[in-house]
Chain A
Amino acid sequence: MPGELPPAAASWPERRRHALADPAMRAAVAKSTRSLTAKKEAVFAAYPAAEAMRTRAVIARRGSLARVDALLDELTCQVEARGGHVVRAAGPADVGHYVLDVARRRGVQRVVKSKSMATEEIALNEQLENAGLHVRETDLGEYIIQLAGERPAHILVPASHKTRQQVRALFDREAAACAVDPPAGDATPELTAFARRQLRADFLAADMGISGGNFLVAETGTLVLITNEGNGRMTTSLPRVHVAVVGIDKIVATWADLADLLQQPALSGTGQRLSTYTTFITGPRRDGELDGPEEFHLVLLDNGRHELLGTEFADVLACIRCGACLNVCPVFRTIGGQAYGSMYSGPIGVVLTPLLGGLERAPELPKSACALCYACADACPMEIDLPRHILALRRTEVERGMEPWTDRLTFELWGRFWASPAGFRFTGRIARLGQRVYVRDGRLKGAPGLVGGWTATRNAPPLAREPFHEWWSRRRASRAGS
């Protein structure tokens, strides 16, 4: 059984139409992805040791994943020995029940969250809000997205599809609702100042902080958080209770492994050598310590991950959520993240969404959200073979009969005819005759079936009067005759 992902907000044609009709969003996405890619290239170019470190990081990651069960046991012992609680969650409902149970027991009303893809994956906010809790996202991008009522459009920079003007409009609305002063203007510092003021109050009032985790170090039971805003530290140290929801794939065996991995999300994600804040959390506040929560709960989320181990897709578990594949993807650049209908967008989303949520959850992604340009394969710092996985998912869809019967028939006939030179030549002759219906002004402007997709937006030359193979035969005959 795969895991469970929240359903897409709308159908694929609706999402696609919406995305293509939003030039401001598309321009913002193109700008941010181009800039992030340039920064990544620049940081690697200026940091000679980075490439060797990245290679070691891949080995460390794969090595840890190869013995994930043993490492999770070790991690659990270590966290519990330091006074933390560890629970394994199979899917969204398990996490929701556990967190709500803790909240009830500790009289929690208000929750602050730092950025976490794992909690997006299980729609934790909705689960908590439905139970009457107040939940506030505190990462600036996530805060913007929460106010907009959207899902993150990018794994790393969730609001990169929004312009400053759009953000200001959201903040103005929030200011009116809270009866506070709106931002002074739409310059970035002015917008940030507004968010900072608002969020400060949320931090101070919160009873529970929920975070994700970038890595888990098994040998000491340490949760590693990487952020650029400092909100992660507030979330995990100010409230009485800290709950971390982390995918089981985030496990690393040792601090030596971590040393190679720690910089990778920043290097490939934002082009920084290291993110601004790196936080190591090992258990709750201990006697004599001034900071930290009274309780620390670590929820280890499976949600379809474990069953990928040992399959041809196992390497997707090595993903560090840096977003480098999104930033180079021409389809992502064209439609933005919301169109994917999943918290995981871009090439990794095309693969991870069906693998975690089931192929029926997103059958359109492998075939419609990828041009097989292989840019993601080159970009991935963890060397995940994304194009191969996309090819495999497309093959699986065909094998399961998930495409329209007309397409299936087209391919079957095509394969049958073109597997022989006679068939190839025969179909060429037939098509040359048949195309007359569609040729206007010497161009193909329409076509039947699958090929009609081409002429929906592009012209094509008609098939040549004399294909190359006929020209060749004619030339050879005339040479033999002369």
Chain B
Amino acid sequence: MVRAQLFVTCMVDLFRPRAGVAAVQVLERRGVEVEFPGGQSCCGQFAYNAGHHREAAAMGRQLVRAFEPSDAASSPADPPTVIALSGSCAAMIKHEMPDLLERDALQRGRTPATAARWRRRAETLADRVVELSEWLDRQAGLEPGQVGIRAESGGPASSGGPAPLKVASHTGCHMRRLLGATEAPLSVLRHAGVEPVELDDAEQCCGFGGSFGLLEPDISAAMADAKLANLATARGDGVTCLVSSDLGCLMQLGGRLDRQGDAFSMLHLAEAVDLADQHRLTPAEIERTARSQEADPDAR
């Protein structure tokens, strides 16, 4: 049994727990023993990007603690992978957190040795973190049975069958440029049996931008509108939904579209793969899934 720890991110936790549940099921289907360290809250990126580094570091330290083995004695030689449900949050941990925690410790008057220790702890976490689609893409290359992974996805569309469903794939900026994970989501979607379509001007930001999106609602919305105009073209070409590995982008584009009184299904990549695993990646099921954010949609 492979162990993995899930970093759901604060946004999925609070706004779209359904994506977290989908990720658990996707991972368990692949033979992973999923753990959810309860100490996690937020990677601190929002505060960090807004210039509030002290607050970001406080959140970052908590995140580092949350994923560390609870006591050294039971600490395995090879700590489990941390699978993140956001490319942007994964990038925050991998690219910013070691520097941030070291610098912040020094600013709070800690000794250089303590600061260096925080850097190492953050680096250890950074090395373990992988974004979900990158993890899935890595597994897809392995033969079934290798490291105990069962591949049970819809599988690539067989030639000669009906044309595969088209879905628009949006890769967030940090996933694209800081993780360099431009191919992984496309490859995962192909493996799930659908045809991913990248929008025109795919490399342009959707306008979410953390604090930028709150401080500049009009510019941010204009950026979303440019992205939505390209989505409209793709919708004209028959894409069924928009899939992204970043909930921030989905909330930005979905929230803007909703404000305009337009409805279009937007799915987290975990949800799309979860449906594909169950051979349910159909227009009707996509719509049903996109409509509900709840972990347990039937519960009251």
Residues of chain A having any CB pair with chain B under 8 Å: 16, 20, 26, 30, 34, 328, 330-331, 333-335, 367-368, 370-375, 377-378, 391, 394-399, 403, 411-412, 414-416, 418-421, 423-424, 428, 431, 443, 450-451, 453-454, 456-461, 463-473
Tell me, rounded to whole Å, the shortest Cβ–Cβ distance linking A127 to chain B: 34
Q: Which of A416, A423, A467 contacts B14 (CB 8 A)?
A: A467
Other A-B pairs, 17, CB within 8 Å; known A30-B226, A398-B50, A459-B259 = A368-B212, A371-B212, A371-B223, A375-B173, A375-B203, A391-B49, A403-B51, A412-B55, A421-B39, A424-B42, A454-B217, A458-B258, A459-B258, A461-B251, A466-B294, A467-B295, A471-B296
| A and B contact pairs by CB, cutoff 8 A, 10 listed | A34-B201, A368-B216, A372-B173, A396-B51, A415-B52, A423-B41, A424-B42, A460-B255, A461-B251, A467-B17
Tell me, rounded to whole Å, the shortest Cβ–Cβ distance linking A170 to chain B: 27
Give B170-224 interface residues, CB cut-off 8 Å to A.
173-174, 177-178, 201, 203-205, 207-224
Residues on A with beta carbons closer than 8 Å to the beta carbon of B97: none
Interface SS of chain A: helix
Residues on B with beta carbons closer than 8 Å to the beta carbon of A16: 216, 218-219
Question: Which residue of chain B lies nearest to A393 when distances are taken between CB atoms in the complex?
Answer: B51
Q: Which of A335, A403, A450, A464 contacts B15 (CB 8 A)?
A: A464
Residues on B with beta carbons closer than 8 Å to the beta carbon of A458: 217, 220-221, 224, 251-252, 255-256, 258-259
Bound complex: CA of A459 vs CA of B253, how far in Å? Answer: 10
Whether B221 and A468, one on each chain, are in contact in the complex, defined by CB atoms closer than 8 angstroms, is: no
User: Does B16 lie at the interface of the complex (its beta carbon under 8 Å from any beta carbon of A)?
Assistant: yes
- A-B pairs with lowest CB-CB distance, top 10: A415-B55, A371-B209, A394-B51, A458-B255, A453-B214, A424-B41, A457-B221, A471-B295, A373-B173, A468-B17
Question: Which residue of chain B lies nearest to A13 when distances are taken between CB atoms in the complex?
Answer: B218
Bound complex: CA of A129 vs CA of B293, how far in Å? Answer: 63
Residues on B with beta carbons closer than 8 Å to the beta carbon of A459: 255, 258-259
Number of interface residues of B (CB under 8 A): 71
Give B31-46 interface residues, CB cut-off 8 Å to A.
36, 38-42, 44
Q: Which of B208, B258, B295 contacts A371 (CB 8 A)?
A: B208
Question: Which residue of chain B lies nearest to A461 when distances are taken between CB atoms in the complex?
Answer: B293
Residues on A with beta carbons closer than 8 Å to the beta carbon of B294: 464-466
Whether A466 and B223, one on each chain, are in contact in the complex, defined by CB atoms closer than 8 angstroms, is: no
Tell me, rounded to whole Å, the shortest Cβ–Cβ distance linking A409 to chain B: 11
Whether B212 and A370, one on each chain, are in contact in the complex, defined by CB atoms closer than 8 angstroms, is: yes
Question: Which residue of chain A lies nearest to B18 when distances are taken between CB atoms in the complex?
Answer: A464
Whether A460 and B177, one on each chain, are in contact in the complex, defined by CB atoms closer than 8 angstroms, is: no
Bound complex: CA of A412 vs CA of B295, how far in Å? Answer: 30
Bound complex: CA of A457 vs CA of B49, how far in Å? Answer: 21
User: Does B151 lie at the interface of the complex (its beta carbon under 8 Å from any beta carbon of A)?
Assistant: no
Whether B20 and A468, one on each chain, are in contact in the complex, defined by CB atoms closer than 8 angstroms, is: yes
Residues on A with beta carbons closer than 8 Å to the beta carbon of B61: 419
Residues of chain B having any CB pair with chain A under 8 Å: 8, 10, 12-18, 20-21, 36, 38-42, 44, 47-56, 58-59, 61-62, 66, 173-174, 177-178, 201, 203-205, 207-224, 226, 251-252, 255-256, 258-259, 293-296, 299
Tell me, rounded to whole Å, the shortest Cβ–Cβ distance linking A348 to chain B: 17
Question: Which residue of chain B lies nearest to A420 when distances are taken between CB atoms in the complex?
Answer: B62
Residues on A with beta carbons closer than 8 Å to the beta carbon of B205: 330, 371, 373, 375
Whether B10 and A418, one on each chain, are in contact in the complex, defined by CB atoms closer than 8 angstroms, is: yes
Whether A334 and B219, one on each chain, are in contact in the complex, defined by CB atoms closer than 8 angstroms, is: yes
Whether A418 and B41, one on each chain, are in contact in the complex, defined by CB atoms closer than 8 angstroms, is: yes
Bound complex: CA of A424 vs CA of B3, how far in Å? Answer: 26
Bound complex: CA of A5 vs CA of B66, how far in Å? Answer: 48
Given known contacts A411-B52, A420-B62, A458-B255, is B219 in contact with A20 (CB within 8 Å)? yes
Tell me, rounded to whole Å, the shortest Cβ–Cβ distance linking A161 to chain B: 15
Bound complex: CA of A463 vs CA of B295, how far in Å? Answer: 12
Residues on B with beta carbons closer than 8 Å to the beta carbon of A428: 13-14
Q: Which of A373, A421, A471 contacts B21 (CB 8 A)?
A: A471
Whether A367 and B51, one on each chain, are in contact in the complex, defined by CB atoms closer than 8 angstroms, is: yes
Whether B13 and A468, one on each chain, are in contact in the complex, defined by CB atoms closer than 8 angstroms, is: yes
Residues on A with beta carbons closer than 8 Å to the beta carbon of B66: 421
Whether B295 and A464, one on each chain, are in contact in the complex, defined by CB atoms closer than 8 angstroms, is: yes
Question: Which residue of chain A lies nearest to B208 when distances are taken between CB atoms in the complex?
Answer: A371
Whether A464 and B219, one on each chain, are in contact in the complex, defined by CB atoms closer than 8 angstroms, is: no
Question: Which residue of chain A lies nearest to B36 when distances are taken between CB atoms in the complex?
Answer: A472
Tell me, rounded to whole Å, the shortest Cβ–Cβ distance linking B180 to chain A: 10
Whether B222 and A20, one on each chain, are in contact in the complex, defined by CB atoms closer than 8 angstroms, is: yes
Bound complex: CA of A244 vs CA of B293, how far in Å? Answer: 63
Whether A367 and B212, one on each chain, are in contact in the complex, defined by CB atoms closer than 8 angstroms, is: yes
Residues on A with beta carbons closer than 8 Å to the beta carbon of B52: 398, 411-412, 415
Residues on B with beta carbons closer than 8 Å to the beta carbon of A26: 222
Bound complex: CA of A457 vs CA of B217, how far in Å? Answer: 6
Tell me, rounded to whole Å, the shortest Cβ–Cβ distance linking A244 to chain B: 38
Whether B17 and A367, one on each chain, are in contact in the complex, defined by CB atoms closer than 8 angstroms, is: no
Whether A330 and B62, one on each chain, are in contact in the complex, defined by CB atoms closer than 8 angstroms, is: no
Whether A373 and B62, one on each chain, are in contact in the complex, defined by CB atoms closer than 8 angstroms, is: no
Q: Which of B13, B173, B218, B221 contacts A467 (CB 8 A)?
A: B13
Tell me, rounded to whole Å, the shortest Cβ–Cβ distance linking A15 to chain B: 11
Given known contacts A412-B55, A453-B213, is B49 in contact with A372 (CB within 8 Å)? yes
Q: Which of A411, A431, A456 contacts B217 (CB 8 A)?
A: A456
Residues on A with beta carbons closer than 8 Å to the beta carbon of B293: 461, 464
Whether B17 and A471, one on each chain, are in contact in the complex, defined by CB atoms closer than 8 angstroms, is: yes
Bound complex: CA of A368 vs CA of B16, how far in Å? Answer: 28
Whether A414 and B213, one on each chain, are in contact in the complex, defined by CB atoms closer than 8 angstroms, is: no
Q: Which of B16, B223, B259, B299 contacts A461 (CB 8 A)?
A: B16
Tell me, rounded to whole Å, the shortest Cβ–Cβ distance linking A114 to chain B: 33
Tell me, rounded to whole Å, the shortest Cβ–Cβ distance linking B214 to chain A: 4
Bound complex: CA of A471 vs CA of B12, how far in Å? Answer: 12
Whether A418 and B214, one on each chain, are in contact in the complex, defined by CB atoms closer than 8 angstroms, is: no
Which of A333, A391, A419 has the largest count of B CB atoms less than 10 A from its CB?
Answer: A419
Residues on B with beta carbons closer than 8 Å to the beta carbon of A394: 49-51
Bound complex: CA of A378 vs CA of B41, how far in Å? Answer: 31
Bound complex: CA of A420 vs CA of B214, how far in Å? Answer: 24
Residues on A with beta carbons closer than 8 Å to the beta carbon of B209: 370-373
Residues on B with beta carbons closer than 8 Å to the beta carbon of A398: 50-53
Bound complex: CA of A465 vs CA of B299, how far in Å? Answer: 10
Residues on B with beta carbons closer than 8 Å to the beta carbon of A443: 258
Bound complex: CA of A377 vs CA of B177, how far in Å? Answer: 9
Whether A418 and B213, one on each chain, are in contact in the complex, defined by CB atoms closer than 8 angstroms, is: no
Tell me, rounded to whole Å, the shortest Cβ–Cβ distance linking B12 to chain A: 6
Question: Which residue of chain B lies nearest to A371 when distances are taken between CB atoms in the complex?
Answer: B209
